[in-house]
Chain A
């Protein structure tokens, strides 16, 4: 690298680097949304069971 005369072409690595960081963040965001949905679904189901039980 010390002997190079022009700037290295590392554009593809930049794309990969940002892809990794953004990908991890988006994946975590999706996991949060999915867990929220599942829990809300469970809560609705449990409420229905509770109401049926009272009848």
Chain B
């Protein structure tokens, strides 16, 4: 395996430093929300994790489209790597939202449009991985995955818009939400700084993970190639 590129090492350090600063801003710089108390601080990373989920699935859709157009296998690798990261962050988003909901909505879970659409989105992309595992031929696997990666992306805007279209108790912090939403709050300037810095930091975390995941993918292919070579000898 090739040694880690210098640019990736630098990215690792930048991401780590950004994460420490983001933690400081979220835990100490942003003021405690008057009604909800400390649990409101979870919101900064909860939204940032959701943002990374959506971004990762968008990258998958774009990479899938490029793969279908050019037939370059590397784009299929990007799509796959991005789905895996998107699933991880969407899971963190859903579970952290559930933890926030317990003291604010007095329940861990409710069949609210946002919670349901986010869970369906997660399941759609778990199915993407299952589909790929079920196809033996690498070219067919990549083609099927690419088509699914594009079609499955429909679940992302539906999830984003669900709290803006349907009647919901999920708060909309940016833009106007439903009057029945519980847990809404107005962000003071310090909160906005912590919020946007968290989004920025999580975008860096995504980029760093994607690079590492792609290197892992290449290593796996190298091992597979070696296996075939040894077996054929």
A positions within 8 Å CB-CB of B: 1, 4, 7-11, 13-14, 16-18, 20-21, 24-25, 28, 32, 35-36, 39-40, 42-43, 46-47, 49-50, 53
Chain B residues with CB below 8 A from A20, complex form:
92, 95-96, 99
- State the majority secondary structure of interface residues on B: helix
- CA of A32 to CA of B41, assembled, Å: 28
Complex Cα distance, B1 from A46, in Å, reads: 13
Q: How many A-B residue pairs have CB under 8 A?
A: 105
Given A8-B37, A36-B216, A46-B226, decide whether A28 and B88 contact each other with a Cβ distance below 8 A. Answer: yes
CB closest residue in chain B, given A10: B39
* B216 with A35: CB separation less than 8 A: yes
* Consensus secondary structure, chain A interface: helix
Contacting residues, chain A, for B1 (C-beta < 8 A): 36, 39-40, 43
Q: Which of B55-63, B109-117, B145-153, B205-213 contacts A (4 or more CB under 8 A)?
A: B205-213
Verify B213–A32 contact, CB threshold 8 A: yes
In the complex, A43→B110 CA distance in Å?
A: 48
